[in-house]
Chain A
Amino acid sequence: MKYINGKIGSRITITILGILILSLFLYRFLFFVKDSFLFFAINDLLVITTFVFLSFYLLKIIKEKNPVPSSLVLNIGLINVFIFLVIIFSEKTLNLLFSNISNKINNPGLIESLIYTLYSLIFLVITAYLLITFKELYFHKQDRGNKTYFIAMLVFLGLTSISTLLFPSPEYDFINNTFLIISIVLIVINSIRISWIAFIVKKEKISLLLLSVIILILFIFNLANSGTNDFNGLVLTNFSPSFQKFFNLILLYGAIYFSVLFFTILFHIPTAEAFDRKAKEVSSLQYFSKLITRVLDFKELAETITDITTKVSSADAAWIDLFDDKNLKIIANKNIALVDADLINQFLLESGICNKITETKICNLNKFINKSSLSEKYGSVVISPLRSYNEIKGYLIAVRKNELIFYDEDKTAISTFSDYASVAIENSMLLEQSLEKERLEKELAVAREIQRKILPVKDPVISNLSIASVFIPAFEVGGDYYDYYNISKDKFGLVIADVSGKGISAAFVMAEIKGIFESLSRMIESPKEILTQANHILKDTLTKNYFVSALYGVIDLNKGEFYFSRAGHCPAILIRDGKVTTFRPSGIGLGLTNDEIFKENLEEFKVELLENDNLIFFTDGITEAKNNDLEDFGDERFSQILINYANENPDKITNEVIKEVITFSQEHPQYDDITLVILKWNKKNNLNGDKGWQNSAPQLKTKVM
């Protein structure tokens, strides 16, 4: 609606303007007698009305373009050039076209009258345009309070213009002069208020300075040549004496305005640089504070910081050092080679001149002996500590080249900025840490999942044997592995192993181990042979610093025999008649050495089983569980519990052991996986072999601490 209204409004304005101009023409043609007061009064009324409408129309057009002061100034300049050209050439040109037209100013014919009216109308437009432009300039970046002065000025300009018409006789000249003086005073007052200058950058100020001189000269020239004795002045006076006066007043305003403008800019230029820098500083900080609220890559952030540092200060180059353990590490550098930054670091931060500073400080490289090895002539340096939680995390450093030095304003700017930067760096690091932690946790969750999937789901129930096992994973997967093999009707196999290393890599090795033993246990019966083959495979596939400790054993259910080999694993324990026997046959861990040495040193051991014998298999997670004094749970505590509960069923025994281990180490985080497998030989409780598997119920597999 507003838009349509505006359109209709502007159409009406144009129509009224057209009517006004037309009536001006008609009026001037119809009434040749130009000596009555009435004629001048009506004439001026028409001219003033046209001028007012014209001004409003132009105001609207200019407002729509929303121009900046410099373009307004340029417009004023162009119009002045036009007036200048008209003043110089109009008389000659018109005389050429219409012979001796200039002699008929006071007594024009029809054509002359038409031309002079047209000529005057052009000046009417120009004057209105100048007035509107001045108004826009005046109100640019001004608060409303000053409106009164401008309106007062307009009123007095108007009064001065028509005063001659109202009081033509010389005795009233004083009224005329009073109005004129008041107008000039108001013009001066209004010209002084040029607030937009401050907001222009230095470069633009300099070009405006030149422009204002030229425009000033043009205004003065135009003013000097628009008097009542000049051709231009004569034409306009003839058109309307009031308008001619008003036009002169506007030119006067222009001359005063631009001379004030010239001096204002002149006085602003020395401080322009400082102002520019402050403005840049503010906008950089604004930009930066916007930036840090976004998720930022750490590297990107560091680069932005060095970049902005060179903008907020007069620095030529900047870089950031962060403490990595106790050494400083350059994480971003702008406009300076790493080698140079490093040398300056060494000289200022490590050798003592600006060592251990806690406040932003200006240092210099005057005493730097290796100055010649720098690729640029750096001299003055500002060092600002980056801190978080009152701890210095690093430094933001800025340098200037050649003989230029830093001043206190630079120091303040860099110091302020480094406070912002500290917060941003801290945020970014925390974010990165939490992402890294999340990634690690995910990785560990995957590792635990792999481990959970490859361990047996439940313990088998077999005739002549009671079996129980417990597995408690550490937070970081420890690489414990165990499994059972139903080799044949009479033979039951078992493996327990511990992969060196932790986490996802340990989980993958476990998966490999599972595959190896699963397939070997089907093909080979001898524990020694199986471990030798496993070593052969693992020696080639494992990374050099990885190895696996393993114990593989077979129980002959018919004969009641247990035979096993141990490849670097924790010994097997036998509890018989309340006594502990530890079997530790010779054997090297899997993947540690070549087949020959491995086999040579691997023993196979055989135990004849007696009723109620307990066979215990475990990983070092039990014996190396630690209490708060970093004491190990140890073999003795372990043996004692085994003896105490030797007559219980394996389930009970495993539970008691784990209970003790947990109680012992409850104040200390579990660092390694815990695995415990107990087999009890009880031939008297003989179940029928095959049924046993079917009746097996899920048993407690893992306990969560």
Chain B
Amino acid sequence: MAEFSTSVKDKGDVSIISLKGFLDAHTAPILETNFVELINKNRYKIVVDFNELAYISSAGLGVFMAFIEKIRENNGDIKLASMNDKVYNIFDLLGFPLLYEIFKSEDEAIKKFLEK
């Protein structure tokens, strides 16, 4: 199966997880680990950068659902950024834009966090 990798960086209060490759049932645990680690560090302001993500399956979408409640309870949020059309379409079909804020770029997402 195709490869998937993530990288995490911090910009002040906000943590950015950048995704690369194919996110599906088999690679989802990698992203889950990233979320668990950030939550353990009490970092709840998270931007997920989809710029290099080629594909996401329903199991991949499930990862965001698994952590969103806990993060919002702690006054944080997951904001999604830089999706290509195909990935956005998958999110859109499921109604994710109604549940998550989705931004054109990583910077816009970070800016949104700082406004508050």
Footprint of B on A, CB under 8 Å? 498, 500-502, 544-547, 549, 567-571, 584, 586-589, 592-593, 597, 601, 620, 630, 632, 672
A-B contact pairs, 13 of them (CB 8 A): A501-B59, A545-B59, A545-B62, A546-B65, A547-B58, A547-B65, A547-B94, A567-B95, A570-B93, A589-B95, A592-B96, A593-B98, A601-B98
Contacts of A546 in B (CB 8 A): 62, 65
- Chain B, residues 27-63, CB within 8 Å of chain A (1/0): the string is 0000000000000000000000000001001110111
**Shortest beta-carbon distance from B12 to chain A in Å:** 28
Give CA–CA (A672, B86) in the complex, Å. Answer: 17
Query: Is the CB–CB distance between A568 and B63 below 8 Å?
Result: no
B69 at the interface (CB under 8 A from A): yes
Name the contact of B61 in the complex, choosing from A547, A569, A586, A632 (C-beta under 8 A): A547
Query: Is the CB–CB distance between A500 and B62 below 8 Å?
Result: yes
Give CA–CA (A587, B94) in the complex, Å. Answer: 7
The 8 closest A-B pairs by CB, nearest first: A588-B95, A545-B62, A500-B58, A545-B66, A568-B94, A589-B94, A544-B66, A568-B95
Known: A568-B94, A588-B99. A544 touches B69 (CB 8 A): yes
- Looking at B54, B65, B86, the one whose CB has the most chain A CB atoms below 10 A away is B65
Query: Is the CB–CB distance between A498 and B95 below 8 Å?
Result: no
Contacts of B96 in A (CB 8 A): 588, 592
Name the contact of A549 in the complex, choosing from B2, B25, B94 (C-beta under 8 A): B94
Query: Is the CB–CB distance between B59 and A597 below 8 Å?
Result: no
Give CA–CA (A137, B93) in the complex, Å. Answer: 93
Known: A547-B58, A597-B99. A588 touches B63 (CB 8 A): no
Known: A501-B25, A630-B2. A545 touches B65 (CB 8 A): yes
Known: A544-B65, A547-B65. A592 touches B94 (CB 8 A): yes
Name the contact of B25 in the complex, choosing from A502, A544, A571 (C-beta under 8 A): A502
**Shortest beta-carbon distance from A593 to chain B in Å:** 6
Contacts of B65 in A (CB 8 A): 544-547, 592
Name the contact of A501 in the complex, choosing from B2, B54, B62 (C-beta under 8 A): B62
Give CA–CA (A570, B92) in the complex, Å. Answer: 10
Query: Is the CB–CB distance between B95 and A592 below 8 Å?
Result: yes
**Shortest beta-carbon distance from B1 to chain A in Å:** 9
Query: Is the CB–CB distance between B93 and A568 below 8 Å?
Result: yes
Query: Is the CB–CB distance between A593 and B62 below 8 Å?
Result: no
Q: What is the chain A residue whose CB lies nearest that of B32?
A: A545
Give CA–CA (A545, B59) in the complex, Å. Answer: 7
Known: A549-B93, A588-B98, A588-B99. A500 touches B59 (CB 8 A): yes
- Looking at A501, A546, A592, A632, the one whose CB has the most chain B CB atoms below 10 A away is A592
Give CA–CA (A544, B28) in the complex, Å. Answer: 14
**Shortest beta-carbon distance from A600 to chain B in Å:** 9
Give CA–CA (A632, B57) in the complex, Å. Answer: 13
- Chain B, residues 77-105, CB within 8 Å of chain A (1/0): the string is 00000000010001001111011000000
Contacts of B2 in A (CB 8 A): 630
Query: Is the CB–CB distance between A500 and B61 below 8 Å?
Result: yes
Contacts of A568 in B (CB 8 A): 93-95
Contacts of A593 in B (CB 8 A): 98-99
Contacts of A597 in B (CB 8 A): 98-99
Contacts of B63 in A (CB 8 A): 545
Known: A545-B66, A547-B65. A587 touches B95 (CB 8 A): yes
**Shortest beta-carbon distance from B21 to chain A in Å:** 11
Give CA–CA (A524, B58) in the complex, Å. Answer: 29
Query: Is the CB–CB distance between B95 and A502 below 8 Å?
Result: no
**Shortest beta-carbon distance from B87 to chain A in Å:** 12
Give CA–CA (A502, B1) in the complex, Å. Answer: 15
Contacts of A549 in B (CB 8 A): 58, 93-94
**Shortest beta-carbon distance from B20 to chain A in Å:** 15
Q: What is the chain A residue whose CB lies nearest that of B58?
A: A500
Name the contact of A592 in the complex, choosing from B57, B90, B99 (C-beta under 8 A): B99
Query: Is the CB–CB distance between B95 and A586 below 8 Å?
Result: yes
Q: A502-B25, A545-B66, A630-B54 are in contact. List 7 more A-B contacts (CB 8 A).
A: A544-B62, A544-B69, A545-B63, A547-B94, A568-B94, A601-B95, A672-B57
**Shortest beta-carbon distance from B86 to chain A in Å:** 8
Contacts of B69 in A (CB 8 A): 544
Give CA–CA (A549, B93) in the complex, Å. Answer: 9
Contacts of A630 in B (CB 8 A): 2, 54
Give CA–CA (A329, B102) in the complex, Å. Answer: 41
Give CA–CA (A549, B99) in the complex, Å. Answer: 15
Q: What is the chain A residue whose CB lies nearest that of B94?
A: A568
Give CA–CA (A555, B4) in the complex, Å. Answer: 44
**Shortest beta-carbon distance from A599 to chain B in Å:** 12
Give CA–CA (A567, B99) in the complex, Å. Answer: 13
Q: What is the chain B residue whose CB lies nearest that of A476?
A: B25
**Shortest beta-carbon distance from A544 to chain B in Å:** 5
Contacts of B62 in A (CB 8 A): 500-501, 544-547
Contacts of B66 in A (CB 8 A): 544-545
Give CA–CA (A601, B95) in the complex, Å. Answer: 9
Give CA–CA (A502, B26) in the complex, Å. Answer: 10
Name the contact of A588 in the complex, choosing from B54, B90, B94 (C-beta under 8 A): B94
Give CA–CA (A597, B96) in the complex, Å. Answer: 12
Contacts of B90 in A (CB 8 A): 620
Give CA–CA (A549, B90) in the complex, Å. Answer: 11
Contacts of B95 in A (CB 8 A): 567-568, 586-589, 592, 601
Give CA–CA (A587, B98) in the complex, Å. Answer: 9
**Shortest beta-carbon distance from A52 to chain B in Å:** 87
Contacts of B58 in A (CB 8 A): 498, 500-501, 547, 549
Give CA–CA (A100, B21) in the complex, Å. Answer: 115
Give CA–CA (A191, B64) in the complex, Å. Answer: 87
Query: Is the CB–CB distance between B59 and A502 below 8 Å?
Result: yes
Contacts of A567 in B (CB 8 A): 95
**Shortest beta-carbon distance from A335 to chain B in Å:** 34
Give CA–CA (A570, B89) in the complex, Å. Answer: 10
**Shortest beta-carbon distance from A459 to chain B in Å:** 26
**Shortest beta-carbon distance from A552 to chain B in Å:** 15
Contacts of B54 in A (CB 8 A): 630
Give CA–CA (A176, B15) in the complex, Å. Answer: 110
Give CA–CA (A545, B95) in the complex, Å. Answer: 15
Contacts of B93 in A (CB 8 A): 549, 568-571, 584
**Shortest beta-carbon distance from A447 to chain B in Å:** 13
Contacts of A544 in B (CB 8 A): 62, 65-66, 69
Give CA–CA (A373, B67) in the complex, Å. Answer: 40
Give CA–CA (A326, B86) in the complex, Å. Answer: 33
Give CA–CA (A546, B60) in the complex, Å. Answer: 10
Q: What is the chain B residue whose CB lies nearest that of A499?
A: B58
